[in-house]
Amino acid sequence: MSHRILPGLIFLVLVSVAPAQNIQYDVASLREDVRGLVQRVGELNLRVEQLERENAELRSKIGSSDYATLTQLNEAVADMNRTMKAIAAATKSETLQQVAGQMERLAKQTNAAIDSLAKGMATRPAVNNIFTEDYPKEGVSYTVQKGDTLSSIATKNGARMQDIINANKITDPTRIQVGQTLFIPTSAAK
């Protein structure tokens, strides 16, 4: 029987000691929590006092004469609107003047460019749209090089410039391009 009592007694001792240790831990935790809460409450008290001081300062700065009536506010807004409209009108007028000046300068530049083109067209040879078949049918191919003109090509190849124009149906003799291949009619005698 003593063997049955001993394990029961050990169990009772362990059960009674374990809650006592848990209670000690719980009490220690609660004390730490209370200490943290006391510190936080102290911080909040300081902040409340600071806010009350700031509030008192603001109230002291605001006197009864500092308040504006609704009528005064409406007048101030109306004055501001009038000022803004005047500024907007002045800005609009100034902008229109600048745009007009820029348009006038652009018009002068455009007219000068048109006049230059017109003068260039006046000195340019007439465009030929009529070609004859009256040119030698024998000849050579020639690839236009940089700096070539129809006149220089004709001279190099002993051909007539009009024959080259007719054979290649060139409407504008000033518009041959580097790399362009031309048929150069040459007389059979050459």
| 143-190 confidence digits (pLDDT tens) | 999 999 999 999 999 999 999 999 999 988 888 999 999 999 987 544
Q: Say if residue 72 is in the same domain as residue 116.
A: yes
Residue 19 lies in a domain: yes
- pTM assigned to the model: 0.35
- The answer, yes or no, to whether residue 35 has pLDDT greater than 60, is yes
In a domain, 48, yes or no: yes
Same domain flag for 106 and 160: no
**CATH code of the domain containing 177:** 3.10.350.10
Q: Report yes or no on 157 lying in a domain.
A: yes
Neighbouring-strand partners of residue 139: 185
Q: How many domains does the chain have?
A: 3
pLDDT in the model for residue 77: 92
Distance CA 177, CA 165 (A): 14
pLDDT in tens, 37-81: 899 999 999 999 999 999 988 888 776 555 778 888 999 999 999
If we measure between CA atoms, which residue out of 86, 106, 108 comes closest to residue 98? 106
Match 């308040």 to its residue by tokens: 67
- Rounded Cα–Cα distance for residues 175 and 157 (Å): 19
Domain C-terminal end among 34, 64, 94: 64
131/110 Cα distance (integer angstroms): 36
Token pair, residue 19, equals: 């809650």
Q: For position 173, what pLDDT does the model report? A: 86
Q: In whole angstroms, what is the distance from residue 121 CA to residue 103 CA?
A: 27
Same domain for 74 and 46, yes or no, is no
Instruction: Examine the domain organization and report whether 72 and 99 are in the same domain.
Output: yes
- Output the pLDDT for position 131: 86
Among candidate residues 124, 147, 172, the one where a domain is terminated: 124
What are the E-state strand segments in 11-168?
139-143
Q: Is residue 77 part of a domain?
A: yes
Contact, 160 vs 154, CB < 8 A? yes
Same domain, 75 and 59: no
Q: Are residues 41 and 88 both part of a single domain?
A: no
Q: Does 159 map to a domain? A: yes
Domain contains 50: yes
**Residue 164 maps to a domain:** yes
pLDDT in tens, 93-149: 899 999 999 999 999 999 999 988 888 776 666 666 788 888 999 999 999 999 999
Q: How many CB atoms lie within 10 A of CB 116?
A: 10
Q: Are residues 59 and 84 in the same domain?
A: no
Residue-range definition of the domain harbouring residue 48: 1-64
Q: In the listed set 64, 87, 103, which residue is the last one of a domain according to the structure? A: 64
Is 104 part of any domain?
A: yes
Same domain, 148 and 181: yes
